A and B are shown apart, each in its own frame.
Chain A
Amino acid sequence: MAERVRLVPVLLTLSVALVVSVAAGIALGSSVIPIGDVLRYLGAALTGGTITSDELSGYTIVWEVRTPRVLLAVLVGAGLSVVGVVIQALVRNALADPFVLGISSGASVGATAVVVFGVFASLGVYALSAAAFLGALGASVLVYIAAMSKAGLTPLRLVLTGIALAYGFQAVMSVLVFLAPDGQAARTVLFWLMGSLGGANWGSLPIAAVAVLLAMVVLLRNSRPLDVLAMGDETAASLGVDAVRLRRWLFVLTAAVTGLLVAVSGAVGFVGLVMPHLVRIVVGSGHRRVLAVAPLAGAVFMVWTDLVARTLVAPEELPLGVITAVIGVPVFITLMRRRGYLFGGR
């Protein structure tokens, strides 16, 4: 492998791409709003300017619908990419993604319960998110307890426990759907399971934003221990890193962020699995570089994915999981074949 690419140009390019993507994401859709108008509406919303009454529908689309949705795409893309990087280091497995620990299945049980039985009805529009988050939390706790042993959370045990419990949660969810009085529930659940940003509103942003930003900062400041973790537990000890303790707090961090993201966007698959690999292929495996680039790359990817999902067959929406796979699979396989990428052997 040649010398590493320089980081600063990559970060600058991605930052510009993100700004352009966000603007495009807000301007484009089932109705196209000229970028000048978009900027004027945003300016009006932020600084309290005035708009005319016939601009009201455009303003509503830009400020109430698309802006929170695009920002949520940014958060989900960035968050899932970062969590994916961490989880692959945590369980030392290239096939791990944020949902490998059963968190999404747990969340889906919670969400299904809302759709089918109307639990948490008193929470109104937040019922689904709240139930999903509780489900994710419950699943994480269960996985943690079941995987815990004297030697701490060992990578293989974590993966196996996560996968086993995921099957259990899926069974529960299937029963719930089966018992549901109408077919609409199944459709809603499926759509939610494949991920959607359709429910985005300003209210869903702050908690997710704080969680993702906090995780990014904490992890970026601790990227060297993550590198050390990849060397094995014994070597980690000889380098002064307590792998058992590190793994424990990485688990808590990833479970919290994944749970919060799943609660607002469903289980958006593929991003958390593939984005870490894509980024490693380009900038190498050092976690400082990967963790700096992954959130930007993930955010750009997710904004465009969501744009395609809501415009391709407008006014219908496709599940995000479909689009991430359609775009991601060929890109990933092409890059992997071209760059002689290695993860865990030849």
Chain B
Amino acid sequence: MDVALTGVSVDIAGKSLIRDLHLEADSGQVVGLVGPNGSGKSTALRCVYRALTPSAGAVYLDGTDVATLTLRDNAKHVAALTQDNRTDLDFTVSEVVALGRTPHLRGNQPLSAKEHDLCREAMDQTDVLHLQDRSVLTLSGGERQRVFIARALVQEPRVLVLDEPTNHLDVRHQVELLSFLGKSGLTVLVAIHDLNLAAAACDRLGVLAGGELVAAGAPIDVLTPDLVRRVFGVDATVVAHPRTGVPQLLYDLKEKA
């Protein structure tokens, strides 16, 4: 499923969070959003999973303006890992994961056997199956993050929106998650802070600064020393990964001072 943000602006309480954003993700592509804190990455993603409505412009799924879809229909296509991830109640891991079926079920309709299998597979996929009867409140940050990713997967989306999914994850789970995204066949929009992981995992990158898109394209074209200095305010040397050839940044700590 293609995702397109066309001319999306978001103003909240007189403050402009993003302005005239154009960004596209073709079916099956992994598109990364990078940018400093407060650059508008999360705001852009919120418009896709409908936690926000753009003040101007529109988000399209396969050419359909999402504003014409109900939240429920949108959620059948788009699943999200948000940053607003606290829960108040001590649900078990499997209860939280099962909530991913919400948009597909009417009222209190119980999960079918097939859907229970789906939940188990998703928990296995994100390596939380052994935690299934634990209360989510007792989990570590990284474990909880993986539970929420499993919940997004059982939504059986065609578009996956992930807001800083690697937060709290240890290296192994970061790598596993990002390699899974590429293989999943889903259209993925992911906000990510680690530029090297972004370069390795994404087909395309969109660079945001101050609510505007300042660059977009293949990682090799986007991540130049000049752009990194301009947008992130750090000096870096770009090298090609010796095996895969993707651009990787080596930060120059000394020259910063």
Residues on A with beta carbons closer than 8 Å to the beta carbon of B86: 232
Residues on B with beta carbons closer than 8 Å to the beta carbon of A224: 99, 102, 105, 107-108
Is A222 an interface residue when CB atoms closer than 8 A count as contact?
yes
1/0 contact string of A228-249 vs chain B (CB within 8 Å): 1011111101111110000000
Best-buried of B46, B73, B102, B135 by chain A (most CB within 10 Å): B102
Using a CB-CB cutoff of 8 Å, which residues 51-72 of chain B contact chain A?
51, 70-72
Is A157 an interface residue when CB atoms closer than 8 A count as contact?
no
Does B155 lie within 8 Å of A239, measured CB to CB?
A: yes
Does A342 lie within 8 Å of B100, measured CB to CB?
A: no
A224 and B161 CA atoms in complex are apart in Å by 22
Interface locus among B76-84, B190-198, B249-257: B76-84
Does A235 lie within 8 Å of B90, measured CB to CB?
A: no
Does A228 lie within 8 Å of B108, measured CB to CB?
A: no
**Contact check: which of B75, B78, B133 meets A1 at CB < 8 Å?**
B133
Using a CB-CB cutoff of 8 Å, which residues 133-155 of chain B contact chain A?
133-135, 137-138, 148, 152, 155
Best-buried of A4, A225, A240, A285 by chain B (most CB within 10 Å): A240
Using a CB-CB cutoff of 8 Å, which residues 74-96 of chain A contact chain B?
92, 94
A239 CB to nearest B CB, Å? 5
Is B112 an interface residue when CB atoms closer than 8 A count as contact?
no
- When C-beta atoms are compared, the residue in chain A nearest to B107 turns out to be A221
Residues on B with beta carbons closer than 8 Å to the beta carbon of A288: 108
A222 CB to nearest B CB, Å? 6
Residues on A with beta carbons closer than 8 Å to the beta carbon of B99: 224, 227-228, 231, 239
Residues on A with beta carbons closer than 8 Å to the beta carbon of B155: 239
A326 and B15 CA atoms in complex are apart in Å by 53
**Contact check: which of A232, A234, A240 meets B72 at CB < 8 Å?**
A240
Does A235 lie within 8 Å of B95, measured CB to CB?
A: no
Does A1 lie within 8 Å of B135, measured CB to CB?
A: yes
Residues on A with beta carbons closer than 8 Å to the beta carbon of B96: 231
Instruction: Say yes or no: A231-B87 contact (C-beta < 8 A), given A237-B71, A240-B102, A241-B102.
Output: yes
Instruction: Say yes or no: A284-B95 contact (C-beta < 8 A), given A2-B133, A235-B80, A238-B79.
Output: yes
- When C-beta atoms are compared, the residue in chain A nearest to B82 turns out to be A234
A278 and B134 CA atoms in complex are apart in Å by 19
Q: How many residues of B contact A (CB 8 A)?
A: 43
Instruction: Say yes or no: A232-B82 contact (C-beta < 8 A), given A221-B108, A224-B99, A238-B51.
Output: yes
Is A223 an interface residue when CB atoms closer than 8 A count as contact?
yes
Residues on B with beta carbons closer than 8 Å to the beta carbon of A227: 89, 91, 95, 99
Does A341 lie within 8 Å of B80, measured CB to CB?
A: no
Does B90 lie within 8 Å of A234, measured CB to CB?
A: no
Is A55 an interface residue when CB atoms closer than 8 A count as contact?
no
Which secondary structure characterizes the binding site on chain A? loop
Is A286 an interface residue when CB atoms closer than 8 A count as contact?
yes
- When C-beta atoms are compared, the residue in chain A nearest to B86 turns out to be A232
A151 CB to nearest B CB, Å? 9
A62 and B148 CA atoms in complex are apart in Å by 55
B73 CB to nearest A CB, Å? 8
Does B75 lie within 8 Å of A240, measured CB to CB?
A: yes
Instruction: Say yes or no: A284-B92 contact (C-beta < 8 A), given A1-B138, A240-B71.
Output: yes
Does A238 lie within 8 Å of B80, measured CB to CB?
A: yes
Instruction: Say yes or no: A233-B84 contact (C-beta < 8 A), given A240-B71, A240-B75, A345-B137.
Output: yes
A345 and B83 CA atoms in complex are apart in Å by 17
1/0 contact string of B95-130 vs chain A (CB within 8 Å): 110011011010110000000000000000000000
Residues on B with beta carbons closer than 8 Å to the beta carbon of A3: 133
Residues on B with beta carbons closer than 8 Å to the beta carbon of A222: 107-108
- When C-beta atoms are compared, the residue in chain B nearest to A243 turns out to be B51
Using a CB-CB cutoff of 8 Å, which residues 197-245 of chain A contact chain B?
220-225, 227-228, 230-235, 237-242
Instruction: Say yes or no: A230-B89 contact (C-beta < 8 A), given A3-B133, A235-B80, A238-B50.
Output: yes
Residues on B with beta carbons closer than 8 Å to the beta carbon of A66: none
Is B85 an interface residue when CB atoms closer than 8 A count as contact?
yes
Residues on A with beta carbons closer than 8 Å to the beta carbon of B83: 234
**Contact check: which of B75, B84, B134, B138 meets A234 at CB < 8 Å?**
B84
Q: A228-B99, A233-B51, A239-B99 are in contact. List 19 more A-B contacts (CB 8 A).
A: A1-B90, A1-B138, A2-B133, A222-B107, A227-B89, A227-B95, A233-B84, A234-B51, A234-B80, A235-B148, A237-B51, A237-B75, A238-B49, A238-B51, A238-B79, A239-B100, A241-B102, A280-B90, A284-B91
18 contacts between A and B (CB under 8 A): A1-B138, A92-B88, A94-B88, A222-B107, A227-B91, A230-B89, A231-B85, A232-B84, A232-B86, A233-B51, A234-B83, A235-B85, A238-B51, A240-B102, A280-B89, A285-B90, A288-B108, A341-B90
* Shortest 9 CB-CB contacts between residues of A and residues of B: A240-B75, A240-B72, A238-B80, A240-B103, A285-B89, A234-B84, A232-B84, A237-B51, A238-B49
